[in-house]
Amino acid sequence: MKRLWAPWRMEYILDDNKHGSCLFCDVSNKGAKKTDRRKDKKNFILFRSTHCFVILNRYPYNSGHLMVVPYFHTSSFEGLSDDALFDLIKTVDMSVNVLKKVLSPDGFNMGLNFGKVAGAGMESHMHMHVVPRWTGDTDSMPIIAETRVMPEHLRKTYDKLLKSFSG
């Protein structure tokens, strides 16, 4: 029998709002300029720009796995203004630089998944994944035990990264 301790999953399991609404719209307050930073901390939001926000992935492939999400609800680039697209890419660039500074990865995987068949769990709200990678960061656990080993708790990773996103 496989057991993996993941206490952050209980919030998701008990969340009454997980069905029928958009997680990204819910946690972002749809682009509110002023927001309660305690809610950002609870939701793992690291940074807010004019058109998008950076959030730590609750179900990461690796420590430091971030997502950059536009406030505008769209499943693809459709409907995003040139300013929003530029802001999205600049925020991805800033996120990479913060991850380099704080976590010193050897490289990155980045990706956009459009639509359910592309592997998107949130196919109705476009977002970009930024996944830091290290030489030898995977071992036999995902292959043999179908289990990923996360070396650091999400809250600790969040606290380390937040300092660099804040300035």
What amino acid positions are annotated as catalytic residues?
Answer: 127
Question: Could you tell me which residues come within 8 angstroms of residue 2 by beta carbon, excluding any fewer than 6 positions away?
Answer: 145, 146, 147
Q: Is 44 helix (H, G, I), strand (E, B) or coil?
A: coil
Q: Is 5 helix (H, G, I), strand (E, B) or coil?
A: coil
Question: Could you tell me which residues come within 8 angstroms of residue 31 by beta carbon, excluding any fewer than 6 positions away?
Answer: 51, 71, 72
Strands, DSSP E only, in the chain? 45-48, 52-56, 66-70, 107-112, 128-133
Report the alpha-carbon distance of residue 60 to residue 31 in Å, rounded.
Answer: 24
